[in-house]
Amino acid sequence: MQLSPRHPRYASLRVRETLARAHESGLVVLEGLIAHGRGETFDYFLGERTTPSARKAERVAAEWLLAAEHPVVSVNGNVAAIAAGEVAELARAIPRLAVEVNLFHRTGPRARLVEAALWRAGVPRVLGVRPTAIIPGLPSDRARVDRRGIFVADVCLVPLEDGDRAEALQALGKRVISVDLNPLSRTSQVADVPIVDEVRRALREIVRAADAIKQSPNPPRLVPFDRYRALGDALATIDRELTRAAVRRRRPPRLRRASPRRPRETAGRSRRTP
């Protein structure tokens, strides 16, 4: 399909096109397309921009990833399809970061497609293609991880994660940073740092923050984070955006009120006079 850059939803249509192609190649599963639609809905509600509260979470995420001994980012089909470049930038900005393939619907060829997408984007080393360990307590294929990556990680960045696995990682004592546009998903609800933002915007902001932290004289720390507040902020933003939209709809543009400052005499005659 020929997309015009003048289309008001051009950026969003391009991402959809990318995902549709990635589905044809086998990188993205149908469930991934459904998940994307869910994400887009919440992004509409959030105003399709990084909120100040999300930016704060992204800064803390950068600090935690830099402070961690074994930080890891978990990459699924959707993330590889739309944000492989951002993952590569993140790996550059966080020198100790391990990049690991992790798939809910795992097959060998799909794992290799994720690996290839990351390689093409410039990630030099991709873990998890041939899993070497199991996270206890998880029935799905997402339990299969790399002994050098998620298995030993102390801080896990899990964009577009499933709630079950986020909980299983925490049960192993790992700190979980999620990126998920739905503040009500189980993943957002359990994460230590829930980032409620679109994945590409979030990763770019974490990279910016990490570069700034590395310039600062203070070493990065596992600073405390109020996750309840972050989730409350996201819900309050959605509430505000929807209320604003509802008010706009109730006030049709042609029915503007006369300016209150306009002197009555100059109106020629009283507005009440028929």
**By the criterion CB under 6 A, which residues form the site for ligand ATP?**
35-36, 38-39, 42, 160, 162-163, 179-182, 185-187, 198-199
Nearest to ligand ATP of 31, 132 (CB atom):
31
Torsion 169-110-90-19 (CA) sign: negative
Q: Contact letters (x/-) for Mg ion, 77-116, by CB under 5 A?
A: ----------------------------------------
HSE value, Cβ hemisphere, 13 Å, CA-based, for 186? 9
CB of 187 to Mg ion, least distance (A): 7
- Report the b/e string of 12-51 with b at 16+ CB within 10 A: eeebbeebeebbeeebbbeebbebbeebbebbebbeeebb
CA pair distance 72, 94, nearest whole angstrom: 10
Residue 221, exposed/middle/buried by CB under 10 A (0-12, 13-18, 19+)? Answer: exposed
**Interaction partner, residue 85 (Mg ion, ligand ATP, none; CB < 5-8 Å by kind):** none
Structure tokens at 164: 């079950």
CB of 174 to Mg ion, least distance (A): 18
Structure tokens at 218: 């203070």
105 within 8 A of 222, measured Cβ to Cβ: no
Nearest to ligand ATP of 42, 64 (CB atom):
42
**Interaction partner, residue 87 (ligand ATP, Mg ion, none; CB < 5-8 Å by kind):** none
Nearest to ligand ATP of 107, 132 (CB atom):
107
Q: Which residue is nearest to ligand ATP (CB)?
A: 39
Nearest to Mg ion of 13, 33 (CB atom):
33
CB of 197 to ligand ATP, least distance (A): 7
Token pair 């933002």 is found at 197
Instruction: Kindly give the interhelix angle for 30-45 and 227-250, rounded to the nearest 10 degrees.
Output: 70
Is 162 a binding residue for Mg ion by CB under 5 A? The answer is yes
CB of 179 to ligand ATP, least distance (A): 5
Binding-site size, Mg ion (CB under 5 A): 1
The residues of the shown chain that bind Mg ion, judged by CB under 5 A, are: 162
